[in-house]
Structure 1
Amino acid sequence: MDYQRQMAAPGSTGSGLIDARGRMVIPFIFGGLSDATAQRRIRLCTAVGLDRQRNASTPRACRWQRLHGSDAGAALRPAKDADTGRWGYRNAQGQWAIAPQFREARPFRHGYAVVVGAFPQDWRPPGWQDERPIIRQFHRMGRHWVAEALVRNASTAGAWEIRYGLLDDAGQWLAAAPQPTLHVAVLFPPGGRSSHYAGMLASHLPRLLGRNVQVDHVPQATEADYRRLMTEGGNEKVLLAALRLPRGGIEGVHQGPPIDALMQALRPVTLLASQPLVLAIDSTRADTLGIHSTDDLLAHARAHPGSLRIGTGEDGWTGHLAFGQFRALSGVDVQRVVFKGMYPDSDVITKEHAVDLLFAPVNGVAVAVRRGQLRVLGTTADPARPQSFEGVPWPTLAASAPLSGYATYDHFSLWAPANSDAASNRTVQEAVAQVLARPEVRRQLQDLQVVGGGGSPESLLALEDEERERWLRALSSSAR
């Protein structure tokens, strides 16, 4: 190789290899490969050593590598397009098999052709995260190509080190250079919903990102721990949490620790999943009061103001929002009973009889529903995405006319530290979207009554704004 990436002048050209389908095998970063495919072997010579300044006295190392391409391109002939002046390849019928796009094009031999194009000024091997890598060599290893480069970035502590990558004959990167493990921080103990989603990511993401993924549970984090999670870690960490949206909660509603203010520094990655709540009633109480639907509930509440008690978690959690919207939209007078934590346990109805109804996620009431102790009057899901339980469809609260437009979800989202890179966060977001699109994952989420996310960082910020508006509307009627 004759080029150092940073020394290539704008407008300069480079040689590379393509296969018979027009796919790039070697990027246009070689000074000349005019006879590279004349034989079954290709001779690649590169400078050796770690000296960045190469000249005529720089030692060189050359290797002979065997080409394993097919003869699929034997019938293709290089041709120049009169209109654009670019070269491409025509088949035996004179049709363009590979569109004219090259500065020069040579015949196919042994499945490959040498072509010349503009030197890619911004080209760098994926995964190396370095603005100016020095590409030292490509060589054949079995059926693949190994690329070697000198890099200097955060992962090398500022020192020049060698990194390797692996390509197939289609120019696709099979193994990017080693990257640091991606740590998924969960602010709850193992075994909960956040833990489940983190485990799902750790199972699927490594194959898509080309890096290890590790789940870190930090339920007893100190303020200093939170500060590090939210401001430090760069591209090596993401925070998975059922965070209140908007981050830090609504002023005057949730009195959290001072660290809540640091949440504003987090950078959005993606919405992972959204899970609606259910409004459940004690089955015996429902039969006694004649409440078998949302409309029955509203009618009884209007006829007996203040007589019904609905249990929710502490201020600022989603159950509080669900109650606020319920009261604001329906206008009925019901009592809110606050229980410690995010949600009350179903035992507060089935055993303690402390309330008549409660807002809780499906997993918090499933056992009692199966036993017939609780009856679900409706879910807080959007009517466009109704939920079912063990094959039995559940109505949505919004299906009742007074509650039209009602929707409340627990949102599980990914956020990155303040010093993370937007491009790296986008890469994680795209990988998460691929995970959520897998049929087996989609079925798993459906079984959990969960709506998959995967949208862009911008859409996550837009959702945060929507949630803020929901809170303000819910609290406008003094629903607290």
Structure 2
Amino acid sequence: MQRRHIILASTAAAASALFAPWAWGQSKVTRIIVPFAAGGPIDVTARVLAEQVRDALGGPVIVENRPGAGGNIGMEAVAKAAPDGLTLGIATTASHGINPWLFTKLPYDPAKDFLPVTQMLRVPNVLVMNEQTAERLNIRTVADLVRYAKAHPGKLNYGSGGNGSAGHLAGEMFKNAAGIFIVHIPYNGGNPAQVALLGGQVDFNFDNLATAAANIRAGRLRALAVTTAQRSPVMPDIPTVAESYPGFEIDTWWGLVVPAGTPASVVAELNRVFTTALRSPEVRSRFATLMAEPTPTTPEAFGQFMAAERAKYERAVKLSGAQVT
């Protein structure tokens, strides 16, 4: 009888390790590495999820910020972590779409060093003009902007958070699609670029909708188009660039990955836990403040999406001519 109890106990322990490999007591902590500074949208959503999944993961879940090098420092830390399900990272448009082509050398391989868990969300970008500039030039639509640019080549300019940033690449893709020449003015980050737009130093930006929404509603910025394939449910009156230039699609996204070598059973259970959290009313409500809808996916779907994004941004980075050594 005693031997049977030992066997049953061992079997139960093995099953527990298989389906909840992180639940080894309160001393074991799950980390979510955010490759950007605290306080931004990526950090905020990671903390919302960490709070939501704590009970399901059976222990503390901490968010660890590892900013620097456009996300490369944080993602290198994820790639080098033990593949035991206790370390996850936030893969982003930058780290897994743009950086492979922007940087001449990366400290990780985005295709080989990670396994996808689930996408978290996608946030539309929006083409916004300084309201006074738009009024002065009588620009109310994308067609108006393109007409003016063609009639006055090089007279318009747009700002971005820096060479190779998502805003820069969106601008270059737009110029290429419309066949226009507009001057790019890079700034040291998204906030300075937005300040320049509000102050009239630049004519328009491709900004994140979550960042631009307050100024759009206040009448300081005029929204001409969102860059997603479909209109945003948050501001459905704003058309898409794709309505003028079919196939144009660029947005901001991020999701969860783990180090390569993490067992498939662990990835599957992490996917179950985090997609359940992403579908919860609490998470949906808190993400809505960022003008974002949660986008839970299977690991396979997220992996295919990231591969397609890398292919898209290879062309975009080449169009921009941006490179970081």
Provide the residue aligned with 2:92 in structure 1: 242
Q: Could you say what secondary structure the match of 1:249 adopts?
A: helix
Q: For the residues of structure 1 that align with 2:136 and 2:256, how far apart are their CA atoms? A: 45
2:311 aligns with: 469
Which stretches in structure 2 are left out of the alignment for 5+ residues?
A: none
CA 1:226–1:208: 2 relative to 1, 3 Å = closer
Provide Cα deviations, 1:365-389, integer angstroms capped at 9, x if missing partner. 2343243221111111222x52434
Where does 1:359-374 land on structure 2 (aligned, <5 Å)?
359-374=206-221
- Which deviations, in whole Å up to 9, do the C-alpha atoms of 1:333-364 show, x marking residues without a partner? 2222222235653210222x321001111233
Find the counterpart in structure 1 of residue 238 from structure 2.
394
Q: Is the 8 A contact 2:130 2:198 kept in 1?
A: yes
Q: Check if 1:316 corresponds to 2:158.
A: no
In structure 2, the residue corresponding to 1:388 is in which secondary structure? coil
Separation in 2 of the partners of 1:299 and 1:201?
45
Tell me the secondary structure at the aligned position of residue 455 of structure 1.
coil
Instruction: Give the counterpart of 1:413 among 242, 255, 259.
Output: 255
**Residue 297 of structure 2: aligned partner:** 455
Q: CA deviation at 1:308?
A: 1.1
Tell me, in whole angstroms, the C-alpha distance in 2 between the residues paired with 1:413 and 1:178. 27
Instruction: Confirm whether residue 354 of structure 1 aligns to residue 201 of structure 2.
Output: yes
Aligned partners of 1:476 and 1:224: how far apart in 2? 24
Which residue of the partner structure matches residue 171 of structure 1? Answer: none
Q: RMSD in angstroms over aligned alpha carbons?
A: 3.3
> Is residue 2:134 matched to residue 1:286?
yes
| Separation in structure 2 between the aligned mates of residue 321 and residue 3 of structure 1, nearest angstrom | 66
* Contact preservation (8 Å) 1:277, 1:359: yes
Unaligned runs of 5+ in 1: 5-45, 53-121, 131-153, 156-175
Which deviations, in whole Å up to 9, do the C-alpha atoms of 1:116-149 show, x marking residues without a partner? xxxxxx986543249xxxxxxxxxxxxxxxxxxx
How many percent identity over aligned positions? 25
Q: Is the 8 A contact 2:124 2:232 kept in 1?
A: no
Matched AA of 2:296: G
Displacement after TM superposition at 1:260 (Å)? 4.5
Matched, 1:233 2:82: yes
* Corresponding position of 1:207: 55
For the pair shown, the structure with the greater C-alpha radius of gyration is 1
Question: Are the structure 2 counterparts of residues 226 and 411 from structure 1 closer, same or farther at C-alpha, using a change threshold of 3 Å?
Answer: closer
**Alignment TM-score, normalising by the size of structure 2:** 0.84
What CA distance in whole angstroms lies between the structure 1 residues aligned with 2:107 and 2:191? 22
Question: What is the rounded CA distance, in whole Å, between the counterparts of 2:111 and 2:162 in structure 1?
Answer: 20
Q: 1:387 to 1:479 in 2, by over 3 A?
A: farther
Aligned to 1:297: 145
User: Could you say if the C-alpha distance between residues 256 and 410 of structure 1 is closer, same or farther in structure 2, counting changes exceeding 3 Å?
Assistant: farther
Distance 1:346 1:224, change over 3 A: closer
Contact 2:98 2:310 (C-alpha < 8 Å) held by counterparts: no
Change (3 A) 1:263 1:227: farther
Supply the distance in 1 between the matched residues of 2:94 and 2:57 (Cα, whole angstroms).
28
1:213 and 1:47 map into 2 onto residues whose CA distance is 32
Paired amino acid for 1:388: V
TM-score, reference length from structure 1: 0.59
Structure holding more helix per residue:
2
Q: How much has 1:178 moved relative to structure 2?
A: 3.3
Q: State whether structure 2 residue 33 is matched by structure 1 residue 189.
A: no
